[in-house]
Amino acid sequence: MSHDNHPTHDSHELSFWRKYIFATDHKMIGLQYGITALFFLFFGFWLMMLMRWQLAYPGQAIPHVGDIWPVLGKAVDWIRLHIFHVSGSNFAEETLPGGVMLPEFYNQLGAMHGTIMVFMGIVPLAVGAFGNYIVPLQIGAADMAFPKLNMASYWCFFVGGWVMLISFMVPGGAANSGWTSYPPLADIASFGQTMWIIGMVFLITSSLLGAVNFITTIFQLRAPGLNFMRLPFFVWAQLVTAFLLLLAFPPLEAAGVMQLMDRVAHTSFFLPSGLVVSGKPLEVSGGGNSLLWQHLFWFLAHPEVYVLILPAMGIVAEVIANNSRKPLWGYRSMVYALLILGFLSFIVWAHHMYLTGMGTAISAFFQATTMIISIPSVIILTCLFISLWGGSIRFNTPMLFALAFLPMFGIGGLTGLPLGLNTPDIHLHDTYYVIGHFHYVVAPGTIFAMFAGIYYWFPKVTGRKMNEVLGQIHFWPSLVCMNFIFMPMMIQGLAGVSRRLYDGGAQYAHAQGTLHLNVVMSIAAWALAIAQIPFVINLIGSLFTGKKVENDNPWESTTLEWATPTPPGHGNFTTIPTVYRDPYEYSVPGASKDFTPQNEKTVV
């Protein structure tokens, strides 16, 4: 055991505030990010569970929630009265009167579910938490290049997240124009939309600071001998992700500034002339362009899709290499595919806008780039599949999640192709098919990879392994439920059911044949929530009762993060390691053991 083998840097004790709250150590910041992001993920999931009741049983009171809601409403009313000085509000009546959801509240939940999951859940977990904790360890660095910037990045995220949460309490409720905030609707929406923009500015600043930090760290702080083609795939994935965040987010920030001007200074960046709202002409100067927002938004939000998926691929690659006891098949092609993917992701954005009347020439261009970008994704996925071939696979919990990622992401990716083609998109655009497609990518795709990462690196963080039985109880129901939620969405979408319907399509003739699926999906969503209970028990319980690891490298891995003490102290390594070999030298012929760590000079 190496618990009493901490590096000498740790000798001076930090105060509680410096160690846990205003921490500058990348590992503590990573944990802060991880805990906060998991909280937001569960919160966003909870919003969705409320919505799923309304979709399955439109107009019926939500059981149990309807009973406790007035209590919550009273608390919000108190805050409104004493903080926002708005009297006479009745939160419960404005959202769930008698437990029945109002359309206005449904719209808020829809917009905020998307915003929370993408910007406050997945990205902070994939980049902020895993990136922060693992990248410096895998490149043999003592910390991130800019520890104070790292702290600022977390606290910007924290403030931005809370601005978003508090926006539920402002008069008129949270943002309700969809997570895409399309104008002109978003320009004239209630005050919650202004809060949304302010929150986004904080979240964007956080990502920007993080991106600068990650790129500098990876370029500047690699250990001796660790050249670029020896970097673990996870580090490559984080590097490309950081470039996407760095260059794609600022245009959204520009768009956010313009929308803020539209809302606060009454400019008309996104408001065309002659707009009529509720029967009255809107008194603005006009002359704006609402498509401008869509271009700027998707210029961010398409690369954002790759921000969501690339770190996940990185984690899966690590877990698969480790548990198949084989080097990754086609490491170099994977890296080149990653770079091409990163570049191409900047020139596909308008495939979200085929039906806006851009013109056929532009649509054809974006259709072509969209088809081309599927090639590098398929290369990476294929390499991961072939990596399994002939391996001696260990079916532990991280590996199960990583293995499930492959077909789930495969379904998500392949169902995207019809959307990327102009003609089928006419039918599929804005239907539940779209929702099914991208949730397959992000939910059983990215989130499963996040789970794999948590189970895989937990022993490094805590010195204990998570429970395998609870892990299996977590994995199998989650896999089943995910498919029962998102596969029926594809069917509904093919039937033409719109994604924005408050009643789940009950009023529409063409939706009648698929209405029963709403109940299936909702029950699966609630069952998925129950399936997360073993995970929570496992995560917290294993901190205290998990099986202690016997050495610093319990999974017998080759990458540098396992060459640190467990858990790593301040400064990470007792001595900065030197790298002699490629990242995944498993089962080297002639070696006495089936793994040869990167910092081992000669094969023994």
Residues that bind other proteins in the complex, under the rule CB under 8 A:
9, 24, 141-149, 208, 211-213, 215-216, 219-221, 246-251, 253-255, 257-258, 261, 265-269, 284-285, 287-289, 292, 295-296, 299, 570-571
Is the Cβ of residue 212 or residue 371 nearer to other proteins in the bound state? 212
Burial class (CB in 10 A: 0-12, 13-18, 19+), 140: buried
Helices within 221-289 (DSSP H only): 233-264
Minimum distance, C-beta of residue 24 to other proteins, in the bound complex (Å): 6
What are the C-alpha distances in Å from 458 to residues 450, 454, 600? Answer: 12, 6, 24
Rounded to whole angstroms, the Cα distance separating 382 from 374 reads 12
- Contact in structure between 255 and 296 (CB atoms under 8 Å): yes
Minimum distance, C-beta of residue 191 to other proteins, in the bound complex (Å): 18
Is the Cβ of residue 29 or residue 221 nearer to other proteins in the bound state? 221
Is the Cβ of residue 415 or residue 564 nearer to other proteins in the bound state? 564
Is the Cβ of residue 409 or residue 573 nearer to other proteins in the bound state? 573
- 3-class SS string, 262-280: HHHCCCCCCCCCCCEECCE
Q: Which two tokens stand for residue 198?
A: 């302010």
Residue 179 makes CB contacts below 8 A (sequence gap 6+) with 110, 111, 112, 113, 114, 115, 118
Minimum distance, C-beta of residue 113 to other proteins, in the bound complex (Å): 27
Minimum distance, C-beta of residue 580 to other proteins, in the bound complex (Å): 17
Minimum distance, C-beta of residue 331 to other proteins, in the bound complex (Å): 21
Is the Cβ of residue 10 or residue 67 nearer to other proteins in the bound state? 10
Minimum distance, C-beta of residue 280 to other proteins, in the bound complex (Å): 17
Minimum distance, C-beta of residue 261 to other proteins, in the bound complex (Å): 5
Is the Cβ of residue 301 or residue 328 nearer to other proteins in the bound state? 301
Is the Cβ of residue 238 or residue 557 nearer to other proteins in the bound state? 238
Rounded to whole angstroms, the Cα distance separating 588 from 604 reads 10
- Contact in structure between 178 and 170 (CB atoms under 8 Å): no
Minimum distance, C-beta of residue 63 to other proteins, in the bound complex (Å): 47
- Contact in structure between 480 and 50 (CB atoms under 8 Å): no
- Most distant CA pair in the chain, distance: 81
Q: Which two tokens stand for residue 232?
A: 């673990």
Tell me whether strands 276-277 and 280-281 are parallel, antiparallel or unpaired: antiparallel
Is the Cβ of residue 136 or residue 232 nearer to other proteins in the bound state? 136
For residue 549, give the DSSP letter: P
